[in-house]
Chains A and B, each alone.
Chain A
Amino acid sequence: MHLSPDEIIFWQQGFLKLNATIAFTWGLMFVLVAGSILVTRNLSTGLRRSRWQNLLEIVVSAIKEQIAEVGLHQPEKYLGFLGTLFLFVAIASVFTIVPGYQPPTGSLSTTVALAICVFVAVPLFGIEDRGLGGYLRVYLKPTFIMLPFNIISELSRTLALAVRLFGNMMSGTMILAILLTITPFIFPIAMSVLGLLTGMVQAYIFSILATVYIAAATRARKPELGLEPED
Chain B
Amino acid sequence: MDSMTLIAIASIITAGLTIALGSIGPALGEGRAVATALSSLAQQPDAATTITRTLFVGLAMIESIAIYCFVVSMILIFANPFWSYVIVHATGK
Contact = CB atoms under 8 A, between A and B. Distances in A.
- Measured as residues with beta carbon below 8 angstroms from the partner, the interface class of chain A is 10 to 19
A205 B57 contact: yes
Nearest to B56: A201
A204 B67 contact: no
A164 B74 contact: no
Interface in B11-52: none
Interface residues of B, number: 13
Nearest to A209: B57
A160 interface: yes
Interface string A176-220: 000000000000000000000000011011001100000000000
A179 B23 CA distance: 20
Contacts of A160: 64
B58 to A, nearest CB: 10
Contacts of B79: 3
A170 interface: yes
A171 interface: yes
Contacts of B64: 160, 163-164, 167
The SS class assigned to the A binding surface is helix
Interface string B45-89: 000000001001100100110011011001000110000000000
A109 to B, nearest CB: 14
Given A3-B79, A160-B64, A171-B67, A204 B74 contact: no
Interface of B: 53, 56-57, 60, 63-64, 67-68, 70-71, 74, 78-79
Contact of A164 (B53, B56, B60, B78): B60
Contacts of B68: 163, 167
Q: Which 9 A-B pairs have the closest CB atoms?
A: A167-B67, A205-B60, A164-B64, A167-B71, A3-B78, A164-B67, A167-B70, A160-B64, A208-B57
Contact of B67 (A163, A174, A201, A208): A163
A193 B63 CA distance: 19
29 contacts: A3-B74, A3-B78, A3-B79, A160-B64, A163-B68, A163-B71, A164-B60, A164-B63, A164-B67, A167-B64, A167-B67, A167-B68, A167-B70, A167-B71, A168-B63, A168-B67, A170-B71, A170-B74, A171-B67, A171-B70, A201-B56, A201-B60, A202-B60, A204-B56, A205-B56, A205-B57, A205-B60, A208-B53, A208-B57
